[in-house]
């Protein structure tokens, strides 16, 4: 799915607790489809390698928007598609045409360039669209696509988790990971639970359907609870009714990334190069996508706007 990325943000709340910050997501519109953008947020571009988290949860569930995102390019990132309801058809310039349903994972690594489209045959698709910044070692490499029809599940007394990426407890996802990271879809039963963290990871907790207490901080649905690296465990409490959340984490990236539109790079020059290739319909870099949807043109990067 497409960005675009800009610098707006509704704001953030520091709960006054060491290591945990809570930030509000904001509504964004992607090709007519309304989403809640959780990451990037003010002053925070990445959590581990995770650099983008959109929740596709239409605020008005009785009148949901259709999901129709025409062919658009990516570089330097992996897209992680995870649905809560409905289904979607992914098609890309590798020739892939793959339907995805809840419980399944699509992971597309862009490398130096890929283009794709997403279409939901029915209205009402809900899910999470997330990006992982690729490290220097793979971001110039070949594009690739993976579909995982089944993922490992971990269950304990107070909850269960699907392991999208990385490892949790004894379970490890089969999905490709270019950096040390984890992505979980966790359902909590009533009452508090403690989960183990890797002290070298930073984490984001994103409640989906109820507020969740993260140690002593309250995190609302669509908000981000940020846990800096350090602790080896954290307490989660979704209250009497339980609740569902996404948990993302990873080793701090250690590289400052440049993000604009659908591109993740390290410099404006790299992004300009990708923008020029897409606008020039350079099929060496971004091949044709098997999709009936209209191609999405890139706006000019702000550093080029008005220069001619
Ligand atoms: Mn996309």
- Which residue shows structure tokens 């969740």? 212
pLDDT tens column, 85-127: 999 999 999 999 999 999 999 999 999 999 999 998 777 789 9
Distance 138 CA to ligand 1 centre (A): 18
pLDDT tens column, 145-180: 999 999 999 999 999 999 999 999 999 999 999 999
The region, left, alpha or beta by phi > 0 then psi within -120 to 50, assigned to residue 270 is alpha
Distance 97 CA to ligand 1 centre (A): 14
Distance 136 CA to ligand 1 centre (A): 20
Whether the per-residue pLDDT at 238 is higher than 80: the answer is yes
β-strand 12-17 against 68-74: which pairing, if any? Answer: unpaired
Distance 30 CA to ligand 1 centre (A): 10
Predicted local distance difference test score (pLDDT) of residue 60: 61
Distance 117 CA to ligand 1 centre (A): 7
Distance 240 CA to ligand 1 centre (A): 37
Distance 78 CA to ligand 1 centre (A): 9
Predicted local distance difference test score (pLDDT) of residue 6: 46
User: Domains in the chain and their CATH numbers?
Assistant: 7-250 (2.60.120.10)
Predicted local distance difference test score (pLDDT) of residue 158: 95
Distance 24 CA to ligand 1 centre (A): 23
Distance 33 CA to ligand 1 centre (A): 13
Distance 252 CA to ligand 1 centre (A): 24
Closest by Cα among 145, 172, 170, 167 to 81? 145
Predicted local distance difference test score (pLDDT) of residue 63: 65
**Residue 2 pLDDT level (bands cut at 50, 70, 90):** very low
β-strand 12-17 against 33-39: which pairing, if any? Answer: unpaired
Whether the per-residue pLDDT at 181 is higher than 80: the answer is yes
Distance 79 CA to ligand 1 centre (A): 7
Give the Cα separation of 178 and 254 in Å (integer): 14
pLDDT tens column, 53-65: 999 876 665 666 6
What is the average pLDDT across 278-304?
95
Predicted local distance difference test score (pLDDT) of residue 152: 98
Distance 3 CA to ligand 1 centre (A): 8
Give the Cα separation of 207 and 33 in Å (integer): 21
pTM over cut 0.75 = yes
Distance 231 CA to ligand 1 centre (A): 34
In a 10 Å sphere around its CB, with 0-12 CB exposed, 13-18 middle and 19+ buried, how is residue 213 labelled?
Answer: middle
Mean pLDDT of the chain: 90
Distance 50 CA to ligand 1 centre (A): 15
Q: Find residue 56's DSSP bridge partners.
A: 127
Predicted local distance difference test score (pLDDT) of residue 171: 98
* Percent over 90 (pLDDT), the chain: 78
Whether the per-residue pLDDT at 7 is higher than 90: the answer is no
Predicted local distance difference test score (pLDDT) of residue 14: 40
Give the torsion sign (CA, 106, 175, 57, 185): positive
Whether the per-residue pLDDT at 17 is higher than 70: the answer is no
Distance 201 CA to ligand 1 centre (A): 26
CB-side neighbour CA atoms (13 Å) of 120: 21
Predicted local distance difference test score (pLDDT) of residue 4: 45
- The answer to which of 10-24, 31-45, 57-71, 215-229 has the lowest mean pLDDT is 10-24
Burial 34-68 (b: 16+ CB within 10 A, else e): ebbbbbbbeebbbbbbbbbbbbbbbeeeeebbebb
Whether the per-residue pLDDT at 290 is higher than 80: the answer is yes
Tokens at residue 170, please?
Answer: 């004894």
């Amino acid at each position: 799915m497409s960005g675009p990325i800009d610098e707006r943000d509704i704001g953030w709340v520091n709960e006054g607790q060491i290591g945990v910050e809570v930030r509000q997501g904001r509504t964004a519109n992607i090709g007519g489809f309304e989403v809640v953008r959780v990451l990037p947020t003010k002053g925070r571009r990445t959590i581990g390698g995770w650099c983008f988290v959109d929740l596709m949860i239409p605020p008005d569930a009785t009148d949901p928007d259709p999901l129709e995102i025409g062919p658009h390019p990516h570089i330097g990132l992996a897209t992680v598609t995870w649905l809560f309801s409905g289904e979607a058809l992914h098609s890309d310039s590798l020739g892939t045409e793959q339907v995805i349903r809840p419980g399944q994972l699509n992971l597309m690594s862009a490398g130096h360039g890929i283009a794709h489209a997403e279409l939901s045959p029915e209205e009402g698709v809900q899910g999470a669209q997330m990006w992982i910044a690729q490290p220097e070692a793979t971001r110039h490499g070949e594009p690739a696509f993976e579909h995982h029809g089944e993922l490992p599940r971990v269950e304990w007394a107070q909850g269960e988790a699907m392991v999208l990426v990385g490892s949790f407890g004894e379970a490890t996802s089969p999905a490709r990971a270019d950096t040390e990271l984890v992505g979980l879809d966790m359902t909590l039963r009533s009452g508090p639970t403690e989960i183990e963290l890797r002290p070298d990871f930073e984490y984001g907790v994103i409640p989906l359907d109820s507020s969740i207490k993260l140690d002593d901080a309250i995190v609302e649905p669509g908000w981000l609870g940020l846990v800096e690296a350090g602790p080896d465990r954290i307490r989660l409490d979704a209250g009497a009714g339980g609740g569902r959340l996404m948990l993302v984490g990873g080793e701090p990236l250690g590289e400052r990334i440049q993000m604009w539109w659908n591109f993740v790079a390290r410099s404006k020059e790299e992004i300009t190069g990708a923008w020029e290739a897409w606008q020039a319909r350079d099929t060496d870099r971004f091949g044709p996508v098997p999709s009936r949807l209209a191609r999405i043109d890139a706006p000019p990067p702000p550093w080029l706007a008005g220069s001619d």
